[in-house]
Amino acid sequence: MSVIKVGFVGLGLMGGSLSIALKKTSQSYYFIGLDHNKEHCAQALELGLVDEITETLEALKQCDIIFLSIPVDGIIAVTQKLTNLAPECTVIDLGSTKEKISLCIPKEIRQNFVAAHPMTGTEKFGPKAALDNLYTNKVVVLCDLEMSGRHQEKVAKKLFTGIGMNIVCMGAKEHDRHAAFISHMPHALSYALANSVMKQEASNSIIALAGGGFKDMSRIAKSSPSMWEDIFRQNKSNVLEAINAFQSELKKCQKMVENEEWEALNAWMKDANKLHDIL
């Protein structure tokens, strides 16, 4: 069996979990990792997430598949340096935004590239956060596939299907609007919720009463600020649109409580319950 060399730029939750998932599907993968955080490199080696650490992007260019599992601004920076790739090399980014990334990929490697967004994650980061089954039964969005090479499209689809993911294809522009509503704006809410409670005078005794609802809603407020700063920057207009849409619903709720329109409030909550039929 010939060895398939897989490179990871970024040895955090996403890259680390992907290594675990891929290893389960085949013994023929050989994993090479690159991360500017030396501690993460050592941890990834120790945890067996990679077979080898390299210190240069150049060394990764020999790989059959290269994953860019780093924050979205970093993805754009790295793609500018990924020149002179073999025609069969497949580069897959796992960023949470897609439009700016898709636009910034140098023409000469555009066919090598597949823009992907696995709709999964946790609030944790670093190789120690890597999880078994992070990708199983989750959706991965593949964007602007018409701009990828047919070989690269095939490699990416086989790979994501192999680790149990459900593939959804759409344009990068559409993806970014969807992601703003389903992921980016909810992160803004969670950060705002955590801050609004922690700024109360009695915050500690309030938080001591936290049940499952608050824990679930504030979980992603623990996510990495540097990662999310990049996402909010790259998806600014969609995020603002989604926050506006949310605010208008919350204002409705506020007005109904203020004006004691209980029947209308009940109907509004019943509308929200319909999510149950979809999700």
Which positions from 185 through 224 interact with its own copies, judged by CB under 8 A?
186-200, 202-223
Q: Are 151 and 90 in contact (CB under 8 A)?
A: yes
Is residue 169 part of the contact set for its own copies (CB under 8 A)?
Answer: no
Which of these ranges, 48-56, 75-83, 102-110, 182-190, lies near its own copies under the rule CB under 8 A?
182-190
Site map (CB under 8 A) of its own copies, residues 238-267, x = contact:
-xx-xx-xxxxxx-xxx--xx-x-x--xxx
Q: Strand, helix or coil at 265? A: helix
Q: Which is nearer to its own copies, 13 or 60 (CB)?
A: 13
Query: Of 54, 120, 152, 234, which one interacts with its own copies (CB under 8 A)?
Result: 120
Site for its own copies in 48-87 (CB under 8 A): none
Q: Kind of pairing, strands 65-68 and 90-93?
A: parallel
Q: Which is nearer to its own copies, 80 or 266 (CB)?
A: 266
Q: Kind of pairing, strands 139-143 and 113-118?
A: antiparallel
How many Å apart are CA 12 and CA 129, to the nearest integer?
7
Which of these ranges, 17-25, 60-68, 120-128, 154-162, lies near its own copies under the rule CB under 8 A?
120-128
Q: Strand, helix or coil at 230? A: helix
Find the shortest distance in angstroms from Cβ 135 to its own copies.
11
Is residue 121 part of the contact set for its own copies (CB under 8 A)?
Answer: yes
Is residue 137 part of the contact set for its own copies (CB under 8 A)?
Answer: no
Burial of 195 (0-12, 13-18, 19+ CB in 10 A): exposed
How many Å apart are CA 208 and CA 205, to the nearest integer?
5
Find the shortest distance in angstroms from Cβ 172 to its own copies.
14
How many Å apart are CA 93 and CA 69, to the nearest integer?
6
Find the shortest distance in angstroms from Cβ 222 to its own copies.
5
Find the shortest distance in angstroms from Cβ 54 to its own copies.
30
Which of these ranges, 27-35, 62-70, 149-157, 166-174, lies near its own copies under the rule CB under 8 A?
166-174
Q: Are 83 and 106 in contact (CB under 8 A)?
A: yes
Would you put residue 169 in left (φ > 0), alpha (ψ -120 to 50) or beta? beta
